[in-house]
Amino acid sequence: MHSKLFSRFDPKHEDNKEFVQALSEVLSLTEDQWKYIVAMLPTLAGMRTQDEALPHVEKLETETKLTRPTLQRVVNFATFILSTLQEEDMTDEDPKLWTKDLISFGLLPSAGEERFYQYMIALRDSAFSKLDTLARERSAESGVLPAFTGVSTTVELRGVFKKPYKLGSKIEDYTPELLSYRPIVSVAISVDGGVTKTFTFQAAPDELKYIIAELQAAQKASTVLHSKMSSQ
């Protein structure tokens, strides 16, 4: 091997079939298509959910005229290169070494050598610093406490009965009489660490407004703080 990037890469391994296919698809891209994808990578990486990313993916499809599966493989290819560079601290490695390795694997035809090299230079120089900054910001957000990873809710109606059943009394003598019903919201919040990774609680709808207002107040405060620091 010539490079650290591909030092442990096995082109014949089943897990690398998609990489090999994506390489061929990357080489078939025009320069404008590749530049547009590379420019969009930091935005896609910043999306926390698939729903948030979807409009950007659809825009990529429109601008590049690529199908969703092809686009996904190309993005995965670029993400693999960038994430490996970051994890292994190889940002100074010359992409010419990657070119030599792929040639030795028999994966890079001579006609595609210069294109691959130029595309990798553009990827490293245009996207890496932005993605590295994003990763460091996410790390700073995590801090030492468990970090938020998701939230889910359910809504149900609970009956209000005139007299509850008393344990030990004859069930034949018990006749439930419904007076009204109340909506209840159950909430589950997930975090990425700690003894308990899911916290659950329930609240009446009129109690939720206090939780929502508190979170909105925190969001407004963080916006003011970010704006103040950005202007300095």
What is residue 10's three-state secondary structure? Answer: coil
Q: Which residues contact 193 (CB under 8 A, 6 or more apart)?
A: 146, 147
- Domain boundary (113, 142, 171) is at 142
In a shared domain, residues 114 and 205: no
Rounded to the nearest integer, the mean pLDDT of the chain is: 87
In a shared domain, residues 131 and 156: no
Mean per-residue pLDDT, 142-168: 87
The answer to the question of residue 6 being in a domain is: no
The confidence band for 133, taking pLDDT boundaries of 50, 70 and 90, is confident
Max CA-CA distance within the chain? 89
In a shared domain, residues 167 and 90: no
The answer to the question of residue 186 being in a domain is: yes
Give residue-wise pLDDT tens across range 19-70. Answer: 889 999 999 999 999 999 988 888 887 777 788 888 989 999 999 999 999 9
- Domain boundary (114, 142, 170) is at 142
The confidence band for 138, taking pLDDT boundaries of 50, 70 and 90, is low
Give residue-wise pLDDT tens across range 188-198. Answer: 999 887 778 89
Look up tokens 């896609």; give the residue.
44
pLDDT for res 9? 85
Structural domain that includes position 213: 148-230
Separation of alpha carbons 232 and 227, rounded Å: 9
Mean per-residue pLDDT, 134-153: 75
| Nearest CA among 135, 129, 112, 148 for reference residue 26 | 112
Structurally, the chain folds into a number of domains equal to 2
pLDDT for res 7? 84
In a shared domain, residues 138 and 30: yes
The answer to the question of residue 23 being in a domain is: yes
Q: What is the pTM of this model?
A: 0.61
Sign of torsion over alpha carbons 20, 13, 42, 4: negative
Report phi then psi at 199, rounded to 5.
Answer: -110, 130
In a shared domain, residues 21 and 131: yes
Other beta carbons less than 10 A from residue 188's beta carbon: 13
For the chain, give me the number of helices (H) and strands (E)?
Answer: 7, 3
- Domain boundary (142, 175, 199) is at 142
Share of the chain above pLDDT 90, in %: 49
The answer to the question of residue 8 being in a domain is: no
The answer to the question of residue 4 being in a domain is: no
pLDDT for res 79? 86
Q: Which residues contact 107 (CB under 8 A, 6 or more apart)?
A: 11, 20, 23
pLDDT for res 69? 92
In a shared domain, residues 61 and 136: yes
In a shared domain, residues 89 and 197: no
The answer to the question of residue 154 being in a domain is: yes
What is residue 131's three-state secondary structure? Answer: helix
Give residue-wise pLDDT tens across range 61-96. Answer: 999 999 999 999 999 998 888 888 777 667 778 889
